[in-house]
Amino acid sequence: MTHTSQGSYKASTAIAVVIANMIGTGVFTSLGYQIIDIKSTFVLLMLWLVGGIAALCGALTYAELAARLPRSGGEYNFLSRIYHPSIGFVSGWVSLTVGFAAPTALAAMTFAAYLDSALTGVELNRMALALALVLVVAYTHGRNHKASGGLQNWFTLIKIILIIGFVLIVSATVSEPQAVHFLPDAGDGALLTSGAFAVALIYVNYAYTGWNAATYITGEVDNPGRSVPLVLIAGTSVVIVLYLALNATFLYAVPMEMLEGRIEVGVIVAQQTFGQTGALVMGGVLSLLLISTVSAMLMAGPRVLQVMGEDFRLFHRLSIRHADGVPRIAIYTQAALTVLFIITSTFESILVFSGFILGLSSLATVLGVFVLRFRQGKDQQEGDSGYRTWLYPMPPLIYSTIVIWTLTFITLNRPQEAAIALAVIVLGFISYWLTERVSR
């Protein structure tokens, strides 16, 4: 994969950001939770297909928004220009507090756990490992676009190769394969519409989080109006295929009861297939996969802080660029917040809480395409780039329906996390009001 030209990222790097943002902890940790209430291989695979369809529908919609409203910042940029600066500010506030820092911390913590499990006989401090990864990656991204893009491209390429290799080797060598049904059995229809399916979809949607990553660096991608839609769609499609292949492999290699309620799914499958040595190797492999995830989040998240700094005088220092346009202060700020989460948070609370709050933000953004289309009839000067959402209005409607369904079940089943998320949003509006007053 090639490096970027100085001062911007190529489309290949943007695709790498999308893929690496999506393929992180979720696909290697969530199947064990899903099996607790769902014992059908067909329904389990449908979970990943439905989640993938939702992500692809979201990507198709975001592609239009990115083409018509080209600027870095993702939801912050879209919501500010579609609705009101206060809505965008709250989205930026969410990104500042939990949107990127929390998932980055989660990926770094899992990296440390897998690496520690792989290096038997060596006593490692997991927190120190997670912190070291964040600091090294943040420093690299803060240097320049060439170093940043090179790091992202190579570790994402390694990630894809390792996943394909894992799927092929496990499928070829498993001694006692399990039955995996690609067609529904009796009772599967009821499972597909059950509350258990909706709750399990929370974890799947979290695993797909990141399909919108390229919109955070739009302003630094070559020819964004043309490139970003292709990047979003290509990156998301690749991940859907990899996720279905990985989960089919997990279910093919190991009996469900061995995975039920377990978080280290990849290691368990490797241990059963290759023995203890294989499990140790798998731990090391998974830790390598997560480096690109941490890298992608520390590349995308700071761009939200950067554009907020451009729009709000109080955050001006976050907008300062160094070394051919890299927002170094924003990158180091994001890293500092990630470090704070690593020191203070736990795995599951981060997963559910950040999944809920990011779902709300993306839902408001996807619904914004209807607002833009309506406004276009009144104001032809609104962005008029050529790309329009394929099969409109089906993609935004499908995405919105799935996300609303999921958020409803989170609210009913995990009210504490939902309440904390809503409290963060309220604090965001208060912060906007205070910021406006200070700026005036």
DSSP 267-301: HHHHHHHH-HHHHHHHHHHHHHHHHHHHHHHHHHH
DSSP H helices in 211-264:
224-253, 256-259
Query: What is the mean pLDDT of the segment spanning 134-155?
Result: 82
Rg (Cα) of the chain, in Å, rounded? Answer: 21
User: Taking the domains of the chain in order of start, what are their residue ranges?
Assistant: 11-439
Q: From the centroid of its chain, how far is CA 60?
A: 16
pLDDT of 132 = 94
Which of the two residues, 313 and 244, has the higher pLDDT score? 244
Query: What is the mean pLDDT of the segment spanning 126-153?
Result: 85
Q: Is 275 exposed, middle or buried (0-12, 13-18, 19+ CB in 10 A)?
A: exposed
pLDDT of 82 = 92
Whole-angstrom distance, CA of residue 333 vs CA of residue 101: 10
Give the DSSP letter of residue 6. T
Contact 217, 303 (CB under 8 A): yes
- φ, ψ at 376 (rounded to 5°): -60, -35
Crossing angle of helices 224-253 and 41-68, in 10° steps, is 170
pLDDT of 395 = 93
Comparing 217-221, 258-262, 300-304, 329-333, which segment has the lowest mean pLDDT?
Answer: 217-221
Confidence of residue 421 (pLDDT cuts 50, 70, 90): confident
Taking 60 as the threshold, does the pLDDT of residue 381 lie above it?
A: no
pLDDT of 386 = 66
Whole-angstrom distance, CA of residue 17 vs CA of residue 132: 21
pLDDT of 8 = 66
Q: Is the dihedral of CA 314, 134, 328, 146 positive or negative?
A: negative
Which of the two residues, 118 and 378, has the higher pLDDT score? 118
What is the H or E stretch that residue 103 is in?
helix 101-118
pLDDT of 346 = 59
pLDDT of 377 = 64
Which of the two residues, 376 and 397, has the higher pLDDT score? 397
Helix (H, G, I), strand (E, B) or coil at 2: coil
pLDDT of 5 = 40
Taking 80 as the threshold, does the pLDDT of residue 178 lie above it?
A: yes
Residue with tokens 């519409």: 193
pLDDT tens digit sequence for 346-378: 555 666 666 777 788 889 999 999 998 888 765
pLDDT of 323 = 61
Comparing 14-23, 174-183, 278-287, 348-357, which segment has the lowest mean pLDDT?
Answer: 348-357
pLDDT of 350 = 61
Confidence of residue 247 (pLDDT cuts 50, 70, 90): very high
Taking 90 as the threshold, does the pLDDT of residue 150 lie above it?
A: no
pLDDT tens digit sequence for 26-77: 787 788 888 888 888 999 999 999 999 998 999 889 888 888 888 877 888 8
Query: What is the mean pLDDT of the segment spanning 221-231?
Result: 75
Residue with tokens 């489309």: 11
pLDDT of 240 = 94
What is the length of the chain? Answer: 440
Taking 50 as the threshold, does the pLDDT of residue 380 lie above it?
A: no
Q: Is the dihedral of CA 43, 48, 52, 55 positive or negative?
A: positive
Mean pLDDT computed over every residue of the chain: 82
pLDDT of 341 = 84
Residue with tokens 């369904």: 405
In CATH, 11-439 is 3.40.718.10: no
pLDDT of 135 = 93
- φ, ψ at 264 (rounded to 5°): -90, 60
Q: How many CB atoms within 10 Å of residue 408?
A: 12
pLDDT of 235 = 87
pLDDT of 4 = 39
- Bridge partner residues of 322 (DSSP): 326
Which of the two residues, 3 and 322, has the higher pLDDT score? 322
Query: What is the mean pLDDT of the segment spanning 312-334?
Result: 81
pLDDT tens digit sequence for 424-433: 888 888 888 8
Which of the two residues, 301 and 345, has the higher pLDDT score? 301
Token digits for 58? 């979201």
pLDDT of 268 = 84
Kindly report the pTM of this predicted structure.
0.79
Helix (H, G, I), strand (E, B) or coil at 153: helix
Confidence of residue 382 (pLDDT cuts 50, 70, 90): very low
Confidence of residue 393 (pLDDT cuts 50, 70, 90): very high
- Highest mean pLDDT (candidates 94-108, 216-230, 344-358, 377-391): 94-108
Token digits for 295? 């890298």
